């Protein structure tokens, strides 16, 4: 059986925030969510999250997570104390292979491959994830004997001068036999500079009990970066964004500047995709072959078809765009927008919960809401669908090959027939018949002798 314990009880005082530290985001989702997502890839039998400061907020944030048990650490008396409180929930069979993996909610980037490698390195004993660093200040040092075996971990504040010179440090991440862990936890004491129960004391106990202590290293140095301050949060954010950019480049995506892309979700790209600077990707976004995204666009939960071009400063949210369409610049596709092949949505056009058919165009300054627009329809500048009566939403239907003149208001529910033309400035309140011109305008008149008012002099 595989148990995973995630320590998430810390206050995060240096964050200067009322939000629990593990709920602060990296790449658009809480740090703890990153740890949980990677942990689940190991298919564990039990996940226990140890909460403390802001416990109710953390529980609420992950209330919909199946298979997660919460243990409360109050007061917080160290990492060893936290795992002691999780111990009653750890599953244990009759096999020596039962293992508990200890992770940290404020170390969000540890990858599943590294977790699996640590569990495998445990062999018949336990394993600790270690790392060699140029500046080990503040880290617990890995103390090995003459044969290279790990004998103990000494915290920085408790280290002797010769121990401070050690460059191999403890990341805090452990894989421990569950049965032995339950017997060892009560033997941890708090006789140290901090007066806390250190989980790292397990190493010395293992050596005394004849339990082998092995080690593994992370796949990348950035995996073990922790977050204790806003500065560290920003640093981890940029490191992770850089890693996502690198993966996109390896897949053949062209990024105008890899340092100016933010992926806060999942981005799937086809071949020959180009993404310009300053773009933000949120939720699940799929870009098909040949898609080009202009600068400073925001895409959230969107699907974009092959050969489509999205120009600068366009927002696309919960929308679908088909092949060879042209969107923007400065366009906004809101939830429910469904843009057909070869359609055009131009500058300052907003579309919500509407279908725009193949080859149809709304190129300037329009609002289309709760509408079904057929194929090859032209929608002139200043057109709006008046879909809301103050209480209910109503639908507008514009059939194939219709032409909607500029500055037209379509008061839903209303239908524009196939091939119909609406004259500029029309306010349509009844259905417009097929293949006819429909317009509604006040009679134009000129007033002879009229003079423009002038400003009165004081």
| Containing structural domain, residue 117 | 2-224
The Cα–Cα gap between 9 and 75 comes to: 9
What would the pLDDT profile of 63-81 be if each residue is shown by its tens digit?
A: 988 889 999 999 999 999 9
Note the pLDDT of residue 207. Answer: 86
Q: 């936890």: which residue's tokens?
A: 185
The Cα–Cα gap between 119 and 178 comes to: 12
Confidence of residue 297 (pLDDT cuts 50, 70, 90): very high
Is a pLDDT exceeding 80 seen at residue 96?
Answer: no
| Backbone CA torsion sign across 181, 185, 191, 193 | positive
Known catalytic residue at 34 = no
Is a pLDDT exceeding 90 seen at residue 456?
Answer: no
Residue 443 is assigned to a structural domain of this protein: no
Note the pLDDT of residue 444. Answer: 87
Note the pLDDT of residue 66. Answer: 87
Residues 165 and 285 occupy one common structural domain: no
Residue 458 is assigned to a structural domain of this protein: no
Instruction: Count other C-beta atoms under 10 Å from residue 191's C-beta.
Output: 8
The Cα–Cα gap between 320 and 88 comes to: 48
Out of 176, 207, 224, a domain closes at 224
- Adjacency order of strands within the sheet including 378-379: 254-255, 274-275, 292-293, 309-310, 326-327, 344-347, 361-364, 378-379, 403-404, 421-422, 437-438
The Cα–Cα gap between 95 and 42 comes to: 18
Residue 96 is assigned to a structural domain of this protein: yes
CATH number at residue 120: 3.90.550.10
Of residues 260 and 191, the one with the higher pLDDT is: 260
Is a pLDDT exceeding 90 seen at residue 410?
Answer: yes
Residue 448 is assigned to a structural domain of this protein: no
Specify whether the CB–CB gap between 131 and 171 falls below 8 A: yes
Residues 257 and 404 occupy one common structural domain: yes
Residues 147 and 175 occupy one common structural domain: yes
Query: pLDDT above 90 covers what percent of the chain?
Result: 86
What would the pLDDT profile of 310-353 be if each residue is shown by its tens digit?
A: 999 999 999 999 999 999 999 999 999 999 999 999 999 999 99
When pLDDT is averaged across residues 21-33 and rounded to a whole number, the result is 97
- Classify the phi-psi angles of 89: left when phi > 0, otherwise alpha if psi is within -120 to 50, otherwise beta: alpha
Residue 12 is assigned to a structural domain of this protein: yes
Out of 192, 224, 256, a domain closes at 224
Specify whether the CB–CB gap between 297 and 279 falls below 8 A: yes
Six-digit token string for 194: 């901090």
Specify whether the CB–CB gap between 423 and 437 falls below 8 A: yes
Query: pLDDT above 70 covers what percent of the chain?
Result: 100
Residues 206 and 245 occupy one common structural domain: no
Residues 190 and 262 occupy one common structural domain: no
Of residues 203 and 239, the one with the higher pLDDT is: 239
Confidence of residue 301 (pLDDT cuts 50, 70, 90): very high
Q: CA 179, 144, 218 angle in degrees (round to 5)?
A: 70
The Cα–Cα gap between 223 and 217 comes to: 10
Domain count, the chain: 2
Residues 253 and 381 occupy one common structural domain: yes
Residues 312 and 220 occupy one common structural domain: no
Task: Output the 3-class SS for the chain.
Answer: CEEEEEEECCCCHHHCCCCCHHHCEECCEEHHHHHHHHHHCCCCCEEEEEEECEHHHHHHHCCCCCCEEEEECCCCCCHHHHHHHHHHHCCCCCCCCCEEEEEECCCCCCCHHHHHHHHHHCCCCEEEEEEECCCCCCCCEEEECCCCCEEEEECHHHCCHHHHCCCEEEEEEEEEEHHHHHHHHHHCCCCCCCCCCCCCHHHHHHHHHCCCEEEECCCCHHHHCCCCCHHHHHHHHHHHHHHHHHHHHHCCCEECCCCCEEEEEEEEECCCCEECCCEEEEEEEEECCCCEECCCCEEEEEEECCCCEECCCCEEEEEEECCCCEECCCCEECCCCEECCCCEEEECCEEECCEECCCCEEEECCEEECEEECCCCEECCCCEEECECCCCECCEEECCCCEECCCCEEECCEEECCCCEECCCCEECCCECCCCEECCCCCCCCCCCCCCCCCCCC
The Cα–Cα gap between 323 and 307 comes to: 6
CATH number at residue 407: 2.160.10.10
Residue 430 is assigned to a structural domain of this protein: yes
What would the pLDDT profile of 199-212 be if each residue is shown by its tens digit?
A: 989 988 998 999 99
Whether pTM > 0.85 for this model: the answer is: yes
The Cα–Cα gap between 329 and 314 comes to: 6
Note the pLDDT of residue 64. Answer: 87
When pLDDT is averaged across residues 374-400 and rounded to a whole number, the result is 96
When pLDDT is averaged across residues 365-371 and rounded to a whole number, the result is 98
Of residues 9 and 204, the one with the higher pLDDT is: 9
- In the chain, how long is the greatest CA-to-CA distance? 109
Is a pLDDT exceeding 80 seen at residue 355?
Answer: yes
Residues 290 and 203 occupy one common structural domain: no
Of residues 152 and 432, the one with the higher pLDDT is: 432
Six-digit token string for 245: 């950019």
Residues 235 and 219 occupy one common structural domain: no
Active-site option among 34, 81, 364, 394:
364
- Report the relative pairing of strands 292-293 and 279-287 from DSSP bridges: unpaired
Q: How many CA atoms lie within 13 A of 252 on its CB side?
A: 11
The Cα–Cα gap between 369 and 183 comes to: 65
Instruction: Count other C-beta atoms under 10 Å from residue 126's C-beta.
Output: 27
Residue 156 is assigned to a structural domain of this protein: yes
Residue 194 is assigned to a structural domain of this protein: yes
Residues 384 and 266 occupy one common structural domain: yes
Note the pLDDT of residue 152. Answer: 86
Residues 138 and 237 occupy one common structural domain: no
What would the pLDDT profile of 245-264 be if each residue is shown by its tens digit?
A: 999 999 999 999 999 999 99
Out of 224, 259, 289, a domain closes at 224
Is a pLDDT exceeding 90 seen at residue 155?
Answer: no
Residues 140 and 273 occupy one common structural domain: no
Cα torsion 296, 298, 302, 304 to 10°: value is: -10
């Amino acid at each position: 059986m595989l148990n995973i314990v995630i320590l998430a009880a810390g206050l995060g005082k240096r964050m200067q925030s009322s939000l629990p530290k593990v709920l602060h985001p990296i790449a658009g989702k809480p740090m703890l969510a990153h740890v949980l997502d990677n942990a689940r890839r190991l298919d564990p039998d039990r996940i226990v999250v140890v909460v403390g400061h802001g416990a109710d907020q953390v529980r609420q944030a992950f209330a919909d997570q199946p298979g997660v048990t919460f243990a409360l650490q109050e007061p917080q008396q160290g990492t060893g104390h936290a795992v002691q409180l999780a111990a009653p929930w750890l599953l244990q069979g009759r096999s020596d292979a039962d293992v508990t993996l200890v992770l940290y909610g404020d170390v969000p980037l540890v990858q599943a491959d590294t977790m699996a490698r640590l569990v495998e390195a445990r062999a018949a004993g336990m394993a600790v994830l270690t790392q060699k660093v140029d500046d080990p200040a503040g880290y617990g040092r890995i103390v090995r004997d003459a044969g290279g075996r790990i004998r103990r971990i000494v915290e920085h504040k408790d280290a002797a001068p010769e121990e401070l010179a050690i460059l191999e440090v403890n990341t805090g991440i452990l894989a421990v036999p569950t049965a032995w862990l339950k017997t060892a936890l009560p033997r941890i004491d708090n006789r140290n500079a901090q007066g806390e129960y250190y989980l790292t004391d397990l190493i010395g106990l293992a050596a005394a009990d004849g339990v082998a202590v092995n080690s593994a290293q992370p796949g990348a140095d950035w995996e073990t970066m922790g977050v204790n301050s806003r500065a560290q949060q920003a640093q981890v954010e940029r490191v992770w964004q850089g890693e996502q950019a690198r993966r996109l480049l390896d897949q053949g995506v062209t990024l105008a500047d890899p340092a100016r892309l933010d992926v806060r979700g999942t981005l799937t790209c086809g071949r020959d995709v180009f993404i310009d600077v300053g773009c933000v990707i949120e939720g699940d976004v799929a870009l098909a072959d040949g898609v080009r995204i202009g600068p400073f666009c925001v895409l959230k939960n969107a699907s974009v078809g092959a050969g489509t071009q999205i120009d600068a400063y366009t927002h696309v949210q919960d929308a679908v765009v088909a092949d060879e369409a042209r969107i923007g610049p400065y366009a906004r596709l809101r939830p429910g927008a469904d843009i057909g092949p070869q359609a055009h949505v131009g500058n300052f056009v907003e579309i919500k919960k509407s279908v725009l058919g193949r080859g149809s165009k709304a190129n300037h300054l329009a609002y289309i809401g709760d509408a079904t627009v057929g194929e090859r329809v032209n929608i002139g500048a200043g057109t709006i669908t008046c879909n809301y009566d103050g209480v209910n939403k109503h639908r507008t239907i514009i059939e194939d090959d219709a032409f909607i003149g500029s500055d037209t208001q379509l008061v839903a529910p209303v239908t524009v027939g196939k091939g119909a033309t609406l004259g500029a400035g029309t306010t349509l309140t009844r259905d417009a018949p097929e293949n006819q011109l429909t317009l509604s305008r006040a009679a134009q008149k000129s007033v002879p002798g009229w003079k423009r008012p002038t400003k009165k002099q004081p």
